[in-house]
Structure 1
Amino acid sequence: MINIVIPVHNRREYTRQCLACLAAQTYRNVKVIVVDDGSTDGTDLMIEEEFPNVVVLKGDGNLWWTEATNWGIRYVQKSQDKRQENFVLTLNDDTRVAPDYLQTMLDAYRKHKPCLIGSPSVDSDNPDKLEYAGAVFELYTAGGHHLSEDYHSSYRELATRTSFLESHSLPGRGTLIPMEVFDKIGLYDSKNYIHYMSDIEFSVRARKAGYRLIVNVPSVVYEYVQATGIQVEKQISLRDFIKGFTSIKSPTNLKVRYRFAIDHSKTKVLYFCFDVARICTGFLLRKVRIMKPL
């Protein structure tokens, strides 16, 4: 069974269309668990009326992505039928998927196991724009790059050249995880990674434990890019960039980046310094490109 865990908070329309996509899947051995973390926009009532088979777990608004996801996983651990093969698929509500999405994920798992299966993501408004296809990095000087760059950020080019990529990490936006992984390495670290980077950190732990991290090209996720948190790679102001160093909603939160450096890098504080320098340099280079005359 594939147990789909979706944390939500006050995004009723995104949640509605995400659940509609999942209801249309060709693979039917599925349970959907929505962790509604204190929504006040009627999300819970909408689910009850329109998707009565969906399990809703209610938080108080303080779970954030990581602990909300852990709630869903714990529910699965307690309720799973161990006589069958069980998975958790982590997914965000600001996405949509094709009807064969779950089947392609499961097919890829059976081909590459033992592994976790991730999804490439594209811009929902521009489906050829490849937003994510995996990443490679080293843990000494924070070097690396997004694999989408190797395909000129074009999903069409990616799909014509390969059916899968091997990554050094995977995000929570469409990742299929065998239940045995949680037994082996534990859940997401909600103490040190409240919202961002807990998915990356978890997948790094899984890779260290011997699981391959596969991005299955046909299992594409259509992402509503503007609905995500602080966009460090977009054209943001200096004020917003600096704010990102302390915001829970930011992937550049310094406390989180430091924790990851201590937990997983080879050079600890030196890695953290290189990481921050890379983030700042990237911001400055984007500003320079914007300021260049045409």
Structure 2
Amino acid sequence: MACYNRRDKTVACLEHLAIAAGRSGVDYRLFLFDDGSTDGTAEAVQKMEPDAVIMRGDGSYFWNRSMNEAFGAAMQEGFPAYLWLNDDTMLRPEAFDLLLQAARDSAAPREVIVVGAISDPEGGHTTYGGWRYVEPRFRPFLTRLMDPTDQPQEVDVMNGNVVMIPDGVARKLGNLDPVFEHGMGDTDYSKRARKLGIPVLLTAGYVGACSRNPLQGTHRDKALPLLQRVRQIFSRKGLPWRSWLTMCWRHGGVLWPVHFLWGYAKVILGRA
């Protein structure tokens, strides 16, 4: 788990986690990377979870590199399974039931990744979870968000809000790649899993709630002047070039240079 200056949300997230784990009889230990919070988040978490392993950054790690540190520390200690959890995602009481059931229903429960379907806390529509390719041969980065059904379903790409990874899978895939600064690490992880024949399953039902991140102020905000949007796309929360280059080279096929350039060109052309 990663956090940065969202003490109230982080505390609420952990309260929901404790309820869900208690209902399903799941024992857990928290590994948290606090990337330089100044609002007392780490102290509040330590009070709630005395056995938690809390690591601290300087504000430069952002989501993926923070998760890399936390996941790496947990893997070093060793557990039967690992749960990625975003601190702005509030688990439902039945969350672990759904995650574990999806794994049990698969042909090889210890060889699958399970991603939790997430809904909007107010509207109830799907906000995060699993995605499927639309045109995998020619547009490998074009995906559509899947709504959960009454059965677990296989997906191609996942968001990292709620993800359960068995230890055997974690050993095969390793950690999140720190080349990705903020985003894209969860996408890369699921794509690497699929290439190794490891299924990624979406839960049969919502495991938690989280609002979509707003587009305002990002490179997708068409109300911003073009120069500001260009600056945003090269920022760590946009498409930083090293991260995007790695993503395209690793998963874009023979047309990866086209996908790399198009990621920036569509902002200039107003298509993002």
* Alignment TM class, shorter chain as reference: 0.7 to 0.9
RMSD: 2.6
1:146 and 2:141 are equivalent in the alignment = no
Decide which of 10, 18, 42 is 2:5's aligned counterpart: 10
Look up the match of 1:180.
168
| 8 Å contact from structure 2 (residues 16, 92) kept in 1 | yes
In structure 1, C-alpha distance between the alignment counterparts of 2:222 and 2:35, rounded to whole Å: 30
Partner of residue 245 from structure 1, selected from 211, 230, 233: 233
Structure 2: distance between partners of 1:207 and 1:60: 34
Show the counterpart of 1:209.
196
Counterparts of 1:31 and 1:227, CA distance in 2: 32
Aligned to 2:100: 106
1:54 CA drift (Å): 3.0
CA distance in 1, matches of 2:3, 2:216: 13
Q: Structure 2 residue aligned with 1:91, among 67, 85, 90? A: 85
Does the CA contact (< 8 Å) of 2:218 and 2:229 recur in 1?
no
Compute the TM-score of the two structures, normalised by the length of structure 2: 0.84
Q: 5+ residue gaps in structure 2?
A: none
CA distance in structure 2 between the aligned counterparts of 1:219 and 1:133, rounded to whole angstroms: 9
Counterpart Cα distance in 1 of 2:44 and 2:15: 12
Q: Give the structure 1 partner of residue 127 of structure 2.
A: 131
* Cα distance in 1, alignment partners of residues 131 and 267 from structure 2: 16
**Aligned match of 2:48:** 50
The answer (yes or no) to whether the contact 2:230–2:268 under 8 Å persists in 1 is no
Partner of 2:183: 196
SS at match of 2:29: strand
* 1:246 Cα offset (Å): 0.6
Aligned residue in 1 for 2:76? 78
1:64 corresponds to which of 53, 62, 65: 62
Aligned-pair CA distance for 1:51: 3.1
* 2:257 pairs with 1:269: yes
Which residue, 9, 15, 19 being the options, matches 2:14? Answer: 19
Matched residue, 1:289: none
Counterpart AA for 1:90:
W
The whole-number CA distance in structure 1 between the counterparts of 2:137 and 2:229 is 24
Cα pair distance change 1:228/1:16, threshold 3 Å: farther
Alpha carbons of 1:163 and 1:244: their partners in 2 closer, same or farther (altered >3 Å)? farther
CA distance in 1 between counterparts of 2:151 and 2:121 reads 21
Shift of 1:200: 0.5
Tell me the CA shift for residue 274 of structure 1: 4.6
Q: CA deviation at 1:196?
A: 0.8
The secondary structure found in structure 1 opposite 2:160 is coil
- How many pairs are equivalent? 262
- Cα contact 2:3–2:33 (8 A) shared by 1: yes
Partner of residue 112, structure 2: 115
Relative to structure 1, is the Cα distance of residues 224 and 59 closer, same or farther in structure 2, using a 3 angstrom cutoff?
Answer: same
Deviation at 1:222, TM superposition (A): 0.6
Distance in 1, matches of 2:131 and 2:264, equals 18
Does 272-281 or 37-46 show the bigger shift?
A: 272-281
TM-superposed CA distance for 1:134, in Å, is: 2.2
Q: TM (normalized to structure 1)?
A: 0.79
